[in-house]
Chain A
Amino acid sequence: MGKTGANIDNFFALFKKDDEQAFSFFYRLYYNDLYSYGISLGEDVERLRDIIQDIFYKIHLNKHKFSSPGHLKFYLLKSLRNAIYDRKRKAGSSSLENHAETSLSFSITTTVLDDMIEEEDRSGIQKKVDGMLALLTDRQREAIFLRYMKELEYAEIADILDLTPHGARKLVSRAISRLKESGETQNIPISLLFLYLLFK
């Protein structure tokens, strides 16, 4: 891990000096982060590719503004969300009734590979995870995606979702407690039934 860490920092220093190879490195490093975020936000592939290209083009013009690779990653994700939000807002404004604020849907899809896990277990895991995530709001899903999948700091999540850092923490912890709740309600009817049968 130490070696990779040193590499990123080296590349970052070169990136700021307008080194093309370093720019290519960061493009390939963060491309799929942006791509997965965009798809989760419901953007379509062709438009998403254009948006990502424009973002990297702008990054290249403004490379002196970044203080660290983490800062760059955060900025990329934030720009992507803003671009998608802006586009949807503009598209929405052409419809007749648009009093509601534009909100972005956020989906989380589970994929279970078959490396030493049987079919039955795979579908069991799939159902459980899907079930858990279905109970969350879009915003909660987006927050846990940014926290756990993209590993952003709370301050960064707050900036992207227009919250205070404290608010971001609360959003994530509420999502987590909601996930926990999703298990318990299902078990109660079964155990009640059991008790009933036992005392019949």
Chain B
Amino acid sequence: MDKYKTYSQYDFLRDKDFIQWVLFPSDSTNAHWTAVAGSDPELAATIEKARTLFSRNVKLNDYKESDDIIDVLYSSLIGRIRSRKKRARILRLSLLSGAACIILALFGILRFYGYQEADLTASGDHAAGMLFNQSSDINEVTLVSGDSIAFFSNNSEIVYADATEAAGSDPDKQDVVYNQLIVPYGRRSSIVLADGTKIWINAGSIVTFPVSFPKNERRIIVEGEVYLDVAKDKAKPFYIECDGMEVRVLGTQFGITAYANERSGSVVLVNGAVEVKCGNSVPHRLRPNQRLIVENESVSVQTVDVMDYVSWKNGWLRISSCSLEELLQKLSKYYNRNITCEESLKSLRCHGKLVLAEDYNATLRTISYSLNIKYDQDKLLLHN
């Protein structure tokens, strides 16, 4: 205490305890120095001068970019943001004004940016891996067409006209041009292809498809979960490729599940007929209400209630007696979030219809109300 009496402000600057107090104050050091200053008003003034001098001159981790550089970086960022807004605005306007306008707007965009004669082959790995990165910042339903990218709101329906005719090109000579629709977690979308086939696409999926089909066949590549209503065309059989499976179709309705990060895939048939080929094995023919599962190398077929598997396309999940743990696994996948429940609740049986809200919290609150349990939003946990 006494030693400070003769201190000048510079002596304080040389004092380790003082330095520590000014840089990293704590309750005890604050108390100590308040007492020191309190004992003598002149000393208090000197301490204050020393503090000011110190704070002005001593900086820790004083890393900065210059204002000029920040200006440049900002311009580039705001440019990126503005062009995204502009594209989204154009497309949203189109969607609002009706189906005919959608076709024209899409067509306009494809024309404006020009086709890129991509040398994409119908190979699952290459095309599906193109742009989609699960931890990326793709938050919206995204359509990729050559150099241009378009964003759509959740649940929008995208319709393709038969571009070959309108573009005045010859389907025989043209290379097949592929577009890609990316649907991130928590979203759904649907698309109508050039031949009238409608595809519902579930969260976390990508569909790669030709803008217009060549003469002899229709072929698309799927990663994730889709539901198809395939338009009849006997002259052009419809094929879907996904992660080692090839599904051949002749005018039917069915669902396919083949997520790249899961080891099994499945095909569920609602009506019509499909033939599924996995690897080099003999093709399996499915009948309605049958579900084929491929796990590692083995294939099995079971009879199921198809609505359990495809109700998501209508925006809700049909649950007929599954455990809460299983339900939360499905929701975790759909929303790409780790949602769990307390141990004691895991085997709780759930039954009914659950609407898949865009906000996962709303869906989970619904579950908590109907099961009379509690939902902790911070921990994504259902508990008693």
A173 adjacent to B26 (CB under 8 Å): yes
Please, which residues of chain B bring their CB within 8 A of the CB of A112? 57-59
Question: How would you classify the secondary structure of chain A's contact residues: helix, strand, loop or mixed?
Answer: helix
Is the CB of B170 closer than 8 A to any CB of chain A? no
Please, which residues of chain A bring their CB within 8 A of the CB of B70? 27-28, 31-32
Is the CB of A108 closer than 8 A to any CB of chain B? yes
Q: Select one of B53, B57, B58, B77 contacting A57, CB under 8 A.
A: B77
* B 167-179 binary contact with A (CB < 8 Å = 1; else 0): 0000000000000
B-side interface residues, number (CB < 8 Å): 33
Please, which residues of chain A bring their CB within 8 A of the CB of B14? 121, 124-125
Please, which residues of chain B bring their CB within 8 A of the CB of A56? 77
Is the CB of A190 closer than 8 A to any CB of chain B? no
B20 adjacent to A179 (CB under 8 Å): yes
Is the CB of A36 closer than 8 A to any CB of chain B? yes
Is the CB of A98 closer than 8 A to any CB of chain B? no
B26 adjacent to A176 (CB under 8 Å): yes
Please, which residues of chain B bring their CB within 8 A of the CB of A107? 61
A-side interface residues, number (CB < 8 Å): 49
Is the CB of A14 closer than 8 A to any CB of chain B? no
**How far in angstroms is the closest Cβ of chain B from A19?**
12
Is the CB of A197 closer than 8 A to any CB of chain B? no
B60 adjacent to A49 (CB under 8 Å): no
Q: CA A117 – CA B56 in complex, angstroms?
A: 10
Q: CA A58 – CA B81 in complex, angstroms?
A: 10
Query: Looking at B56, B60, B65, which has the most chain A CB atoms within 10 Å of its CB?
Result: B60
Q: Select one of B24, B60, B135 contacting A179, CB under 8 A.
A: B24
* A 119-135 binary contact with B (CB < 8 Å = 1; else 0): 00110110011001000
Q: Contacts A27-B77, A148-B23 known; A110 to B60 CB distance under 8 Å?
A: yes
Q: CA A36 – CA B62 in complex, angstroms?
A: 7
A49 adjacent to B73 (CB under 8 Å): yes
* B 59-89 binary contact with A (CB < 8 Å = 1; else 0): 1111111000010011011101100000000
* A 22-37 binary contact with B (CB < 8 Å = 1; else 0): 0110011001100110
B58 adjacent to A108 (CB under 8 Å): no
Is the CB of B377 closer than 8 A to any CB of chain A? no
Is the CB of B381 closer than 8 A to any CB of chain A? no
Please, which residues of chain A bring their CB within 8 A of the CB of B59? 110-113
Q: Select one of B19, B80, B81 contacting A129, CB under 8 A.
A: B19
Is the CB of B13 closer than 8 A to any CB of chain A? yes
Q: A121-B10, A145-B61 are in contact. List 9 more A-B contacts (CB 8 A).
A: A24-B78, A36-B61, A53-B76, A56-B77, A57-B81, A125-B13, A129-B23, A129-B58, A145-B60
22 contacts between A and B (CB under 8 A): A23-B78, A36-B64, A39-B61, A57-B137, A108-B61, A109-B60, A109-B62, A110-B58, A112-B57, A112-B58, A114-B57, A115-B57, A121-B13, A122-B57, A124-B13, A125-B14, A125-B58, A129-B23, A129-B60, A148-B23, A173-B26, A179-B20
Residues in chain A within 8 A of chain B (CB atoms): 20, 23-24, 27-28, 31-32, 35-36, 39-40, 49, 52-54, 56-58, 60-61, 86, 107-117, 121-122, 124-125, 128-129, 132, 144-145, 148-149, 173, 175-176, 179-180, 183
Query: Top 3 closest A-B pairs, CB basis?
Result: A36-B63, A113-B57, A39-B63
